[in-house]
Amino acid sequence: MSTTPRIAIVGAGLGGLACARVLQQHGVPVTVFERESDPHSRAQGGTLDIHEDTGQTALRAAGLFDQFLALSRPESQEWRLYDRHATLIRHDRAGEGDLSRPEIDRGQLRTLLLDSLAPGTVRWGHGVKAVSPLPHGTARLHHHDRAAEDFDLVIGADGAWSRVRPALSDAQPCYAGVTMVETRFDDVDHRHRGIAHLVGRGTMSAKAGRRSLVLQRNSNGHVRAYLFFRGPQDWHAGLDLSDTEAVRARLLAQYQGWHESLLDIVRDSEGGFVNRPMFVLPVPHTWQRVTGITLLGDAAHLMPPVGVGANLALLDGAELAQAVIGHPTLDKALDAYESVMMPRAIDNAKTAHELLSTLMPDNDSDDAVFPDPLWPTSPLPEPHPTHTS
């Protein structure tokens, strides 16, 4: 490009940070706007399996693959499947040297990306209210404090409830009919040996009809538990979600008849329960080009958490940065990026919805098809107190 473009990324999640890293590697300055007050203002969620053809490709482009491998847990590619009677149906283990989907804590991966950026790249505590296109192909970024800044390119990497998306699309996330409730265990190998036995070194799922119980081993003896069930979004009507014991009792009633060792996931969990209804964007989700504005990750293609969301966000970020670097104009860069990203997102979203329907049918039959262990392997990041970006 004849002049250095002014680029803003809204959202310091994995995709936005990967994009910023690749741009900076090639000498392109960028500013990341993040509403969180600092990198440690909230927990970042559970463990992620980073796939060799998507997330790992992005980390190679960012020059961070070796650092990622040093932090990752290849042994956690192990997966166990049980029925509701705690009978082991399937047990998959990674082969020696298998690096196809090593696990890493989301927080560790985010820190790796943050530490790779030039100091001051992320402007913490700078939430974005809206983005509007301007004449001559630029875009105006509106802050909550009524200040505004103009950029040649604004990239919406701000997740499900993106404030950038309305500049391109009227689409809004809708409830997918499935809720995930999260809880946790610490120091499982000493304090919760039954849980440690169930989860092994990686992930376990127990499924029957419209309900699942999932355990995922994170680093340092930490295990996250997820209860998935199909039903109304207001399943907790009349319940105070901050009343841990009342929520526990309601959930135990939902899983009545399950094996005692599985019910211990609900009975013995530490801390409270986090209610996380699952939202998705319509499929296909596309938009007409608006010069100077684009989206990546969940802002572009929010889909059920079947293990691909974080991987696609990383790949989106790296490929968008490479397009900006490799094309003479931003318009040509966005043509190259969106022409690949959109069809890929549509294909993955269709598969994700089909898999969700298979694994969470609208009946209570114990008859189930168990596909390749893709779900759930990449739970969402920790919920923010609000749904705004």
* Closest alpha carbon to 116 in 33, 48, 59: 59
pLDDT per position as a tens digit, 2-35: 688 999 999 999 999 999 999 999 999 999 999 9
Report the pLDDT value the prediction gives residue 3, as an integer from 0 to 100: 80
Residue 65, pLDDT > 60, answer yes
Residue carrying structure tokens 């008849």: 257
pLDDT per position as a tens digit, 71-87: 999 999 999 999 999 99
User: Among the ranges 92-96, 240-244, 380-384, which has the highest mean pLDDT value?
Assistant: 240-244
Instruction: Give the mean model confidence (pLDDT) for residues 265-291.
Output: 96
- Confirm whether 66 is domain-assigned: yes
Q: Which of 13-17, 66-70, 85-89, 360-364 has the lowest mean pLDDT?
A: 360-364
Q: How far apart are CA 169 and CA 284, in angstroms?
A: 12
- Confirm whether 272 is domain-assigned: no
- Confirm whether 321 is domain-assigned: yes
**What is the residue-averaged pLDDT of the chain?**
92
- Confirm whether 382 is domain-assigned: no
Report the pLDDT value the prediction gives residue 146, as an integer from 0 to 100: 85
pLDDT band at 50 (very low <50, low <70, confident <90, very high): very high
- Confirm whether 91 is domain-assigned: no
Contact (Cβ atoms closer than 8 angstroms) between residue 375 and residue 369: no
pLDDT band at 365 (very low <50, low <70, confident <90, very high): low
Q: How far apart are CA 387 and CA 389, in angstroms?
A: 7
Number of domains in the chain: 1
The three-state secondary structure class of 154 is: strand
Percentage of the chain with pLDDT > 90?
A: 85
Report the pLDDT value the prediction gives residue 375, as an integer from 0 to 100: 44
- Confirm whether 260 is domain-assigned: no
pLDDT band at 389 (very low <50, low <70, confident <90, very high): very low
Report the pLDDT value the prediction gives residue 1, as an integer from 0 to 100: 62
**End-to-end Cα spacing for the chain:** 31
User: Any residues with CB less than 8 A from the CB of 119 and at least 6 apart, and which?
Assistant: none
CATH code: domain of residue 128: 3.50.50.60
Residue 385, pLDDT > 80, answer no
Report the pLDDT value the prediction gives residue 43, as an integer from 0 to 100: 80
Report the pLDDT value the prediction gives residue 388, as an integer from 0 to 100: 31
| Tally of CB atoms within 10 A around 103 | 26
Instruction: Give the mean model confidence (pLDDT) for residues 126-154.
Output: 95
- Confirm whether 365 is domain-assigned: no
Report the pLDDT value the prediction gives residue 241, as an integer from 0 to 100: 96
Q: Which of 222-226, 279-283, 356-360 has the lowest mean pLDDT?
A: 356-360
Instruction: Give the mean model confidence (pLDDT) for residues 293-306.
Output: 96
- Confirm whether 124 is domain-assigned: yes
Q: How far apart are CA 284 and CA 272, in angstroms?
A: 36
Report the pLDDT value the prediction gives residue 361, as an integer from 0 to 100: 86
Q: How far apart are CA 279 and CA 304, in angstroms?
A: 7
Q: Which domain holds residue 329?
A: 7-75+103-173+281-359
